[in-house]
Structure 1
Amino acid sequence: MFRQVLVGRLSPRMLPLAAALLLQRKERKETGFYHWRREKHPYYNLTVKILRARNIKGTDLLSKADCYVELRLPTASPITYQTRVIDNSSDPEWNETFRYKIHNAVKNTLELTLFDEDVLVSDELTSVVFDVTGMVPGRPLKNTFKLKEDREELDVEFFLEKSSDAPTEVITNGALVAYPCLCLKGVLNKDDMSKLREQASSHLFKISLPGSYEKQLCIPCKPDSDQDCGIPFVFHIGKDMCSELDVELEQTITVLQDGVSPDFEKHTTVLGSGTAPLQSLPLGKDIDMTIPLGKGQSVDLHMKAEQMRKDLDVRLGFDLCKEEREFLDKRKKIVSQALKQTLKLREDPSEDEVPVVAVLGSGGGMRALTSFYGSLFGLQQLNLLDSVIYLSGISGTTWCLSMLYQDSEWSCKELRDTISNVQKKMSSSKVGAFSSERLKYYFQELNAMENAGRKVSFTDLWGLIVEYFLQQKEDQSKLSDQQEAVKQGQNPYPIYAAVNVRPNVSGDDFAEWCEFTPYEVGFRKYGAFVRTEDFDSEFFMGRLIKKHPEPRICFLQGMWGSAFAASLDDVFLKVVGSGFSFLESLGAVVKVIDDCRRFHLRDPMRLKTRLVIPGGPLIQIFQDFFKSRVTAGETFNYMQGLYLHRDYVSLNKFVVWKGTHLDAFPNMLTPMEENLYLVDGGFSINSPFPLVLQPERDVDIILSFNNSWEAPFEVLQLTQKYCKEREIPFPQIVLNKEDEENPKECYMFMDAENPKAPIILHFPLINDTFHKYKAPGIERESEEERSFGDFAIEGKDSPYRTLNFTFESHDFDRLVELSCYNVLNNKDTILKALSLGLNRRKLKNDSRK
């Protein structure tokens, strides 16, 4: 019934643990800050001179390459620069110079991409990713980049010098940097509008500001009185990105086909265009200027640029939010009293001695929802639910949590009644989810979201379907409503999990954990959080630009349990056991080609130079087809406009040491993206371990309830790998063949010599002794009782398949009672873990004195 696995030897006096505590000061120190702080850094002028390339082989077998080089440095300029094209040459020579002004607070990584021009689409030959950190100002640096093994090379000369511009103060948490943000307000002159309205009502102004949040505004010239004072416009942009404002005047003409047919075509003609330089635009002053558009036309602009003075709306820092800290103070009082009673202690442990216990539930659709109810019921029957501080779920378990927390006193009440109500919903028909009335409701909801400017995807439709599956009615509740359930510490603190992925990248290769709580949504990887009420609103450079209403919880439920967002590669990985690995060998190749010893590059925080050789357009099409997630939910990226700190590589939250990992390519990381792609966390690890293993939560004991029947220990093994890559303390997972083939009800894993590694109690979802015992130590006697307990959870004919959303009452009750029994049957193990956790806490406190 119980198997205990220990790493090292556990002394009765716990001496190894005490010794480990004394050695903690020698561990790697992070540079991330619990709270944000202000830093002032200078500017530098960077000159990049593209000299020449040698031995270049193009993609055309009948001629030599027509080469040009693109330069991209998004932290300094929104514009991608390009050299001229050298036709039909294996050894092109350019000698072209490009200049950037860079800020020393951010990680400035230059991308140099060599292309072979083609009539239709230019072919990317190779890319070099070069970190300019560590260059010595005033000393030219000439570098020859080895592009391929067959002697292809690119010569580039760099020169860095300190700028005369005054240093700028930024806000940072050690991972992200927030620049000063400008709000540029302008008005197109009303006289110009009157003239255009007299000519036609089909004129349109396109105003573009590269690097701004709005990018481009399309302003029609409507013949109405609202424009008598001119047409207003607003752009938000970084102080150092403000370059040129582009204005274009277009006219659209509608032409009827055949003179009779109702079909028509629209033809657009550009009547003129011009630019307004903004580099020296004075702050806080009204400016009038006339922009020539050509052909005798011009437009008058009235503009004013002001720096946004308000505080950041994105919380930067790795500490827990104020509300969660306040919750912990209240909850630990309750836990202390519960532990005194449960462990039969003489007095209540002090709040510092209270071990932090987290209960995790894995994914698995309705099976996970049902089983988690049973596990929580078991903890309640043992009077252990009041000892839990955190409850965290993934996929189907989040559905269970979101239903529980609709009642702000749920854990203080008998769960039996709650489970009985849930059973009625789980065993009812789900056909009504696809009735004509319900489909009309879905359309109206999604249409209203789109009209409000929200991003709408299949995930939102799935959320509305889940709403019916769980509630059979419209649910207006929101995640922030659950604040009432934790304000007094009366329930454990809920943490819902999702991961941010890339539409065409495997979740095994890249997935960033995002946590949802009643107070905040955020990525602890970046130390960036927003209020739950502001999730899915539009942010830029840490400021709230456009507020949208908080989404109803059904839309979050659809995202948390969006298993359908799997790519074909994910499906094959789960079903067959391996993905389309052959695509990796044919795809892009990433190589580290850095040799900083030869150059003046001595900063230890500098990323090594990487070479990226694309696999070709045909291979890219195959990869996009097999790896894309066409149904991944999109939401506004609240980190857009924030940049990575120059020293972000020192944080063990990033896997920068892996040559192919996206963490080593700062220009490709999430802050540079416009959207988040949040999906079911099961695409990474099918249990939310990463969310409770953050050092800020300081968790001592984890009760892991696994609801997967394919691989009962996979979540532990994946978590161990995740923790090893990020230097997070985690016990060694040691299993034998018997464990794999015939798992027991409960396993304990701990590291006796590392006090920072939590004690793990892992409960596989199995029917081990339940088929024989109806309660711990009480055998089943009647035929009916034996029949009730004698069932298999897994199998192709199982009612508990992940895609089955309706359980018969009998099957629902069986799974709830099994999960409850497995907890009750391991009471001694849980109490032992609590006792060990209490002792470890005391030793931690003694070591701090």
Structure 2
Amino acid sequence: MFRAAVSRLPGRALPALAAVFLWKKEKGRERRGTRPRSWRKEIHPYYNLSVTVLRAQNIHGVDVLSEADCYVQLQLPTASPLPNRTKVIYNSSDPEWNETFHYRIHGAVKNILELTLCDRDLMLDDKLASVVFDVGNLKPGKTTRRVFKLNPKDKEALEVEFYLEESEDPPTEIITNGVLVVHPCVSVEGRIKKGENLEKGNLVKLSVPGSYEKQTCVSFTQSQAQELGTPFVFHADRDMNPHIDVCLQKTLHVGQDDLAPELDKKTLHLGNCSVPISSLPSGQEIEMNLPLSKNHIINMKMKKESSQELDLRLGFELSYGEKEFLEKRKKVVAQSLTEALDLITVPNADEVPVVAVLGSGGGTRAMTSFYGSLLGLQDLQLLDIVTYLSGVSGSTWCISTLYEDPNWSHEDLQHSISKVRKSVTSSKALAFSAERIRYWSQELVALERDGHKVNFSDLWGLMLEYFLHQKDNPAKLSDQQECVCRGQNPYPIYAGVNVRLNISGGDFAEWCEFTPHEIGFRKYGAFIRTEDFGSEFFMGHLIHRRKEPKICYLQGVWGSAFAANLDEIWSRASGTGIRWLSSLTDVIRVIDDCRRLHFRDPFRLQTRLVMPGGIVSDLFNDVFKSRFTAGERYNFTRGLYLYKHYVGVREFVPWKGNHLDAFPNLLTPMEENLYLVDGGFSINSPFPLVLQPERDVDVILSFNYSWNAPFEVLHLTAKYCRERDIPFPNITVSEEDEKQPKECYLFMDADNPRTPIVVHFPLVNDTFCAYKAPGVLRETEEEKSNADFVLGVKDSPYRTKNFTYEPNDFDQLLELNRYNVLNNQKQILSALKAALDRRKSKVTKSWMKNKKKHEALSF
């Protein structure tokens, strides 16, 4: 019936109808918690929002000796780069303002208004309470009055009135991937050509609020007064209606204090003016005389340009380089799988299961152990069935050294192991010699000169460079493209997490993947070329290109276990965080009283009340929760906005208490910097990176190299997956196995073929102490003594902080992990066989479905 109706439509109506159908299908996918694969263009209207702050009631200030001196600050960063604020009402517990503020908002983004009630103070204003309000709650053309209950017990409340109407400005086109929104970026390049009546000591300040560059200052001598010739550039969001503010100042010296000359300086304001960027013609250089005051004029040349093509990839599809690799790798895997499972025919490309091998963190212990596990897979001739190789912390050190050889998986791993053995068993004393420290200083100075942010993780990376190579290693991550160009090795994925300086990694951590082709956040669908990591981006555009850093600086990020804060260190030592700190943190409470709207609009965020912990809270959090050594990097998602329906994408958990995902104004795209640290601060194994649906992984070989909690990574991953509706097998482990784990465990969900099969290897010395090879008993005393060691004891040589092993200790750990793989060949092959059967069944069902569809259409 539908086909018959379509056949009667005129030809030009078909594309429009198809577009509507696809749009509805896309909307349906979003509502089910999935995401579009790539970016798309959409047209959305503008709205005019009026916010009238009416009054507050029964307000108790911080000072108990007097009544509060209240004002309200309004922040809507998606519409205005600067906050607004009401006037201060002094000595009143029931202040009344009746002040109205106007905003133009865009319908494509998630607009969140923050209303903060403050108490004026001589030294530092006190924040009494903040209301976080989703403007999407408002109905256009209708006045909405809300009374936000700040403290029901004391009947404290804030009364605000909203009015929303569609703007007369024409709708505009944006780019979105269903999570992020890209607004048009405008850039202004100019030059201060000359000035009249300018003197020595004059200072010209140019600023564009909300721009990437923020502000630039020009100070000049008498000889420069007439011909400055100073260039400037600003990048800003066109939808913010940006303007260039020009301010002229003069610095006066009012004293002669040689010990503190800064105290003698006084700044005198001489004049200013503002130029709306929208008034400048595009692509045409113009010259303007700007009167800053009655006596001061500056002549400027300016040119406005609009950026078009994005330098950041917006989408959730795999990179072109990874897709190209997979096409070649499938052929290698198919042949290897045929030999491993003794198949009669080689599987088709669609039938080949995707296998990922994961290595956990654990410093040198993890690096050495991972070499042993991979050696076991090579001995079983199973390395060629692996599609992805991924690691955290110490495991990334193993992977990154392996990929210095473009053909490593087809050569005897013993050659690579012998080089690593020499490094691990060598003294590290020379790492801190005068010559080496001088080299580090030169490298860090050069890194800073190139424009990179330099921090402690970079110094740690240089230390690791020496620990792993005993010499300078010029290799870069992008060099590893040569290692996968023919599909000859598994595809490497290195893991890091983006954290906040004062939030536990268990509460907030965004997984960042590093591959030879791209680096990015699959949570946001935002990726940059690996060669561009460390460069500066704004609104999806490359602002300043920097030289790609050496891989040792990335190793410093991937293995930055020292970035733990005091609360996390205490938690690992005692099993729980510093409990009394929780009583000092901000209290976040849902105060939404319009629940019916919530059911009508699943993308709406509930109104939240934030009660600040106060000065004492800030003090203790700065001490106990700050990460002084986190790897600060330029944020390549800066200047992008959250899409209005981002809460429907499963990577976000805005429903989870006080999780940052419920506060889009605080999420990564709104931040200036990234703080990238060891992935172990979230989950000590990179499961989230290989569980992405685009990678379609069937089997995960999980190697866990921590000895305190052999199944913790599985339990944390299961929790992570439950919160995001990601298929993952049920992890059920007996109490006996938790205390005394065996070598290998297989977890799978027979009823759900979408669930990956997990083969998990804890780090244990189980049967290795009795067998020198699978089925071959140790007989001599020497053979028995070589395996007679306990891993997790206090004086173990394999402690995470120990970077130097005795040769025998290295050999024992390597051989233990190799043996544990060899001894569980049946488990691995069983998982591969089950995955192959699943793939074949899936292909058969898909073929039958397409056949029936084709027959129905033919009929």
Q: Given the two structures, how large is their TM-score scaled by the length of structure 2? A: 0.93
Of residues 805, 808, 819 in structure 2, which corresponds to 1:807? Answer: 805
Give the conservation status (yes or no) of the 8 Å contact 1:188–1:301. Answer: yes
Relative to structure 1, is the Cα distance of residues 643 and 825 closer, same or farther in structure 2, using a 3 angstrom cutoff?
same
Amino acid at match of 2:93: S
Give the conservation status (yes or no) of the 8 Å contact 2:250–2:270. Answer: no
1:303 aligns to what?
302
1:143 aligns to what?
146
1:189 has 2:208 as partner: no
Of residues 828, 832, 835 in structure 1, which corresponds to 2:833? Answer: 835
1:217 has 2:216 as partner: yes
Give the conservation status (yes or no) of the 8 Å contact 1:180–1:307. Answer: yes
1:585 has 2:583 as partner: yes
Q: CA deviation at 1:273?
A: 3.4
Q: CA deviation at 1:265?
A: 6.7
Distance in 1 (CA, whole Å) between partners of 2:494 and 2:102 is: 46
Distance in 1 (CA, whole Å) between partners of 2:428 and 2:703 is: 27
Q: How does 1:248-397 map to 2 (within 5 A)?
A: 248-252=247-251, 267-278=265-276, 280-284=278-282, 285-294=284-293, 296-309=295-308, 311-397=309-395
Q: Could you give the per-residue CA deviations for residues 212-248 of structure 1, whole angstroms, max 9, x where no partner exists?
A: 0000112232577899473221100010123332222
SS of structure 2 residue aligned to 1:336: helix
1:60 has 2:59 as partner: no
Q: CA deviation at 1:135?
A: 2.0
Q: CA deviation at 1:66?
A: 0.6
1:98 aligns to what?
101
Give the conservation status (yes or no) of the 8 Å contact 2:729–2:749. Answer: yes
Relative to structure 1, is the Cα distance of residues 67 and 825 closer, same or farther in structure 2, using a 3 angstrom cutoff?
same
Q: CA deviation at 1:277?
A: 3.7
Of residues 108, 111, 120 in structure 2, which corresponds to 1:108? Answer: 111
2:176 aligns to what?
172
Q: How does 1:419-458 map to 2 (within 5 A)?
A: 419-458=417-456
1:502 aligns to what?
500
Gaps of 5+ in 2: 1-27, 848-859
Amino acid at match of 1:136: K
Q: Could you give the per-residue CA deviations for residues 419-461 of structure 1, whole angstroms, max 9, x where no partner exists?
A: 1121111100101110001111111111122222221111110
SS of structure 1 residue aligned to 2:292: strand
Distance in 1 (CA, whole Å) between partners of 2:69 and 2:225 is: 53
Distance in 2 (CA, whole Å) between partners of 1:168 and 1:137 is: 18
Give the conservation status (yes or no) of the 8 Å contact 2:495–2:686. Answer: yes
Relative to structure 1, is the Cα distance of residues 804 and 494 closer, same or farther in structure 2, using a 3 angstrom cutoff?
same
1:50 has 2:50 as partner: no
SS of structure 1 residue aligned to 2:409: helix
Q: CA deviation at 1:297?
A: 2.3
Give the conservation status (yes or no) of the 8 Å contact 1:246–1:273. Answer: no
1:765 aligns to what?
763
Distance in 1 (CA, whole Å) between partners of 2:250 and 2:61 is: 42
**Which shows bigger deviation, 229-238 or 312-321?**
229-238
Q: Could you give the per-residue CA deviations for residues 491-530 of structure 1, whole angstroms, max 9, x where no partner exists?
A: 0000000000000110010000000000000000000000
- Higher RCO (CA 8 Å, separation ≥ 6 residues): 1
Give the conservation status (yes or no) of the 8 Å contact 2:47–2:105. Answer: yes
Amino acid at match of 1:269: T
Amino acid at match of 1:80: P
Q: How does 1:200-215 map to 2 (within 5 A)?
A: 200=200, 202-215=201-214
Amino acid at match of 2:47: Y
SS of structure 1 residue aligned to 2:239: coil
Distance in 1 (CA, whole Å) between partners of 2:52 and 2:257 is: 56
SS of structure 1 residue aligned to 2:567: helix
Distance in 1 (CA, whole Å) between partners of 2:783 and 2:223 is: 79
SS of structure 2 residue aligned to 1:190: strand
1:537 aligns to what?
535
Give the conservation status (yes or no) of the 8 Å contact 2:205–2:217. Answer: yes
1:75 aligns to what?
78
Q: Could you give the per-residue CA deviations for residues 115-141 of structure 1, whole angstroms, max 9, x where no partner exists?
A: 011111110000000001142211111
Q: CA deviation at 1:289?
A: 4.0
2:711 aligns to what?
713
Q: Could you give the per-residue CA deviations for residues 318-365 of structure 1, whole angstroms, max 9, x where no partner exists?
A: 110111011001001000000100100001101100110000000000
Q: CA deviation at 1:249?
A: 2.5
Q: Could you give the per-residue CA deviations for residues 570-628 of structure 1, whole angstroms, max 9, x where no partner exists?
A: 10111111111322233211111112257799533111111101111112211221110
Q: CA deviation at 1:184?
A: 1.1
Amino acid at match of 1:316: L
Distance in 2 (CA, whole Å) between partners of 1:738 and 1:389 is: 34
**Which shows bigger deviation, 278-287 or 645-654?**
278-287
Distance in 1 (CA, whole Å) between partners of 2:385 and 2:225 is: 62
Distance in 2 (CA, whole Å) between partners of 1:224 and 1:538 is: 35
Q: CA deviation at 1:26?
A: 11
Aligned length: 818
**Which shows bigger deviation, 290-299 or 716-725?**
290-299
SS of structure 1 residue aligned to 2:279: coil
Gaps of 5+ in 1: 1-24
1:126 aligns to what?
129
Amino acid at match of 2:187: C
Give the conservation status (yes or no) of the 8 Å contact 2:194–2:298. Answer: no
Q: Could you give the per-residue CA deviations for residues 16-47 of structure 1, whole angstroms, max 9, x where no partner exists?
A: xxxxxxxxx99973452211111111101000
**Which shows bigger deviation, 315-324 or 134-143?**
134-143
2:164 aligns to what?
160
Q: Could you give the per-residue CA deviations for residues 691-720 of structure 1, whole angstroms, max 9, x where no partner exists?
A: 000111000000000000110000000000
SS of structure 2 residue aligned to 1:140: strand
Q: CA deviation at 1:291?
A: 3.6
Distance in 2 (CA, whole Å) between partners of 1:557 and 1:600 is: 45
Give the conservation status (yes or no) of the 8 Å contact 2:195–2:297. Answer: no
**Which shows bigger deviation, 369-378 or 266-275?**
266-275
Distance in 1 (CA, whole Å) between partners of 2:794 and 2:731 is: 29
1:12 aligns to what?
none
SS of structure 2 residue aligned to 1:509: coil
Q: CA deviation at 1:416?
A: 1.3
Q: How does 1:616-655 map to 2 (within 5 A)?
A: 616-655=614-653
Of residues 680, 683, 703 in structure 2, which corresponds to 1:682? Answer: 680
1:778 aligns to what?
776
Distance in 1 (CA, whole Å) between partners of 2:723 and 2:589 is: 20
1:234 has 2:233 as partner: yes
2:793 aligns to what?
795
Q: CA deviation at 1:551?
A: 0.7
Give the conservation status (yes or no) of the 8 Å contact 1:244–1:275. Answer: no
SS of structure 1 residue aligned to 2:265: strand
Q: How does 1:516-527 map to 2 (within 5 A)?
A: 516-527=514-525
SS of structure 2 residue aligned to 1:774: strand
Distance in 1 (CA, whole Å) between partners of 2:271 and 2:391 is: 54
Q: CA deviation at 1:779?
A: 0.7
Amino acid at match of 1:445: E
Amino acid at match of 1:170: I
**Which shows bigger deviation, 226-235 or 151-160?**
226-235
SS of structure 2 residue aligned to 1:57: coil
Give the conservation status (yes or no) of the 8 Å contact 1:248–1:270. Answer: no
Distance in 1 (CA, whole Å) between partners of 2:837 and 2:248 is: 74
Give the conservation status (yes or no) of the 8 Å contact 1:459–1:555. Answer: yes
Amino acid at match of 2:345: E
Distance in 2 (CA, whole Å) between partners of 1:226 and 1:709 is: 70
SS of structure 1 residue aligned to 2:588: strand
Q: CA deviation at 1:557?
A: 0.4
The percentage of aligned residue pairs carrying the same residue is 60
Distance in 2 (CA, whole Å) between partners of 1:526 and 1:424 is: 42
- State the Cα RMSD in Å: 2.0
Q: Could you give the per-residue CA deviations for residues 620-678 of structure 1, whole angstroms, max 9, x where no partner exists?
A: 21122111000001000000000000000000100111130000000000000000000
